[in-house]
Homo-oligomer: A and B are copies of this chain.
């Protein structure tokens, strides 16, 4: 952004790191990989890696998820850049952190490339993490809960169609606390985010539940009732 020479200076390395969330047995969990190489050899870390010259940041994040764990998130959003000098002991590395959601029906992640192991860890009991990844997870969780509170983002964890009961259960898992059934359903109805889609009954007994899907272009949109600042 200065003259034609400036951009030949030595430059920091640029990486992306992704906090990928999913539900494992109803537990909100983060996908971690165990590092096979130094630094932090043997430690758990977020999947991530270097940004290539020709790819966008979000693309880089998606590619790393695919390469390192073989998964494609249903939702991904940037958290911000983490660039404290010394956060990587090797050299100066600035990392753009992301958070993402993986649908439950996606196939399980598999270890690949730089990882000796890939595993879901419940957010309630995380191990020590490499680099500043603990900070990133904290920030990611914060954003996730904010989104879950204000926008039914949990729908991204379900299939194309889902019942209100399913959606509520997912949202509760994301938020980490129970929701009132009637209030939840009212909010969803009034939000205008959902549209009906037939009828069905999933598990054995009980009255069949109506099916819904996300309305067009409603990904992550705020509920109608949420306070905004003009």
Query: A149–B37 contact, CB under 8 A?
Result: no
Query: B83–A80 contact, CB under 8 A?
Result: no
Interface segment among A3-11, A101-109, A161-169, A189-197: the answer is A3-11
Query: A93–B7 contact, CB under 8 A?
Result: yes
Question: Which residues on the B side are within 8 Å of A4 (C-beta)?
Answer: 37-38, 90
Interface segment among A50-58, A121-129, A152-160, A213-221: the answer is A50-58
A residues with a Cβ closer than 8 A to B are: 1-4, 6-7, 9-15, 17, 37-38, 45, 48-57, 78-81, 83-85, 88, 90-96, 113-114, 131, 145-146, 148-149, 175-177, 227, 229-230
Query: B229–A114 contact, CB under 8 A?
Result: no
Q: Chain B: which residue is nearest A227 at the CB level?
A: B227
Query: B93–A81 contact, CB under 8 A?
Result: no
Query: A229–B11 contact, CB under 8 A?
Result: no
Question: Which residues on the B side are within 8 Å of A56 (C-beta)?
Answer: 83-85
Query: A51–B2 contact, CB under 8 A?
Result: no
Tell me, rounded to whole Å, the shortest Cβ–Cβ distance linking A151 to chain B.
Answer: 12
Query: A37–B229 contact, CB under 8 A?
Result: no
Q: A50-B7, A175-B229 are in contact. Are A96 and B78 (CB under 8 A)?
A: no
Tell me, rounded to whole Å, the shortest Cβ–Cβ distance linking A88 to chain B.
Answer: 8
Tell me, rounded to whole Å, the shortest Cβ–Cβ distance linking A153 to chain B.
Answer: 12
Question: Which residues on the B side are within 8 Å of A145 (C-beta)?
Answer: 229-230
Query: A81–B57 contact, CB under 8 A?
Result: yes
Q: A11-B11, A50-B9, A53-B12 are in contact. Are A2 and B37 (CB under 8 A)?
A: yes
